[in-house]
């Protein structure tokens, strides 16, 4: 079941007649799933793609070879390119990309610990890029990230669109 924030976000998107797509890595499809559980989500949810492995990001999303090696798959620049490139190929008003570290064993460092999440959202007239550090286990980190996506979208569309 979707959180209150996701439900509110979907209702705002429906009211404003805006569509949305997702390109996910760390959330592995849960972002799309959460939005799909809201009543009438079919009016707004175009779909999404899960690109977990670097090869998928490069092959399907045209992330230039060498970019992931230079910046890591869990980085602001890769998240930005994921959002921009998917937005070009799939017709929607809003495109959300999400990457990050939900478990140990990735590219974590002291300055980028487990819990670091990158979100990039392409709106019709602007882009919003954010970096967060959430606490908890993998599921809690993903849930917090999903709520943050909903919060950012609500703020942008209710105040500016």
In the predicted structure, residue 79 carries a pLDDT above the cut 90: yes
> Hey, what are 63's tokens?
């992330």
- The sign of the dihedral angle between the CA atoms of 21, 149, 159, 14 is positive
Residues 6+ apart with CB under 8 A from 142: 26, 27, 28, 30, 102
Confidence of residue 161 (pLDDT cuts 50, 70, 90): low
pLDDT in tens, 19-77: 999 999 999 999 999 999 999 999 999 999 999 999 999 999 999 989 999 999 999 99
C-alpha to C-alpha distance for 54 and 78, rounded to whole angstroms: 10
Residues 118 and 57 sit within 8 Å (Cβ to Cβ)? no
Measured CA to CA, the distance from residue 49 to residue 29 in angstroms comes to 7
Encoded tokens for 134: 């959430």
Distance CA 3, CA 154 (A): 14
In which band, very low, low, confident or very high, does the pLDDT at 118 lie, cut at 50, 70 and 90? Answer: very high
Domain encompassing residue 30: 4-159
Total tally of structural domains belonging to the chain? 1
Can you point out the beta strands (E) in the chain? 20-24, 45-50, 94-100, 116-122, 127-133
Residue 42 belongs to a domain with what CATH number? 3.90.950.20
Helices (H) and strands (E) in the chain, counts: 6, 5
The token pair that represents 88 in the structure block = 């070009």
Point out which residues pair with 118 in neighbouring strands: 99, 131
Q: Which long-range contacts (CB under 8 A, 24 or more apart) does 108-111 make?
A: none
């Amino acid at each position: 079941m979707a959180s209150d924030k996701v439900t509110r976000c979907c209702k705002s998107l429906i009211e404003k007649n805006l569509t949305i797509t997702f390109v996910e890595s760390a959330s592995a499809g849960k972002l799309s799933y959460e939005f799909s559980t809201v009543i009438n989500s079919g009016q707004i949810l175009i779909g999404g793609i899960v690109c977990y492995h670097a090869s998928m990001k490069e092959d399907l999303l045209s992330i230039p070879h060498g970019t992931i090696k230079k910046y890591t798959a869990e980085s602001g620049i890769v998240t930005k390119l994921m959002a921009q490139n998917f937005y070009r190929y799939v017709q929607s008003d809003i495109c959300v990309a999400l990457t990050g570290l939900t478990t140990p064993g990735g590219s974590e460092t002291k300055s980028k610990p487990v819990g670091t999440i990158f979100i990039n959202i392409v709106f019709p007239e602007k882009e919003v890029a954010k970096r967060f550090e959430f606490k908890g286990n993998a599921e809690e980190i993903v849930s917090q990230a999903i709520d943050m996506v909903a919060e950012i979208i609500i703020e942008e569309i209710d105040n500016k669109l």
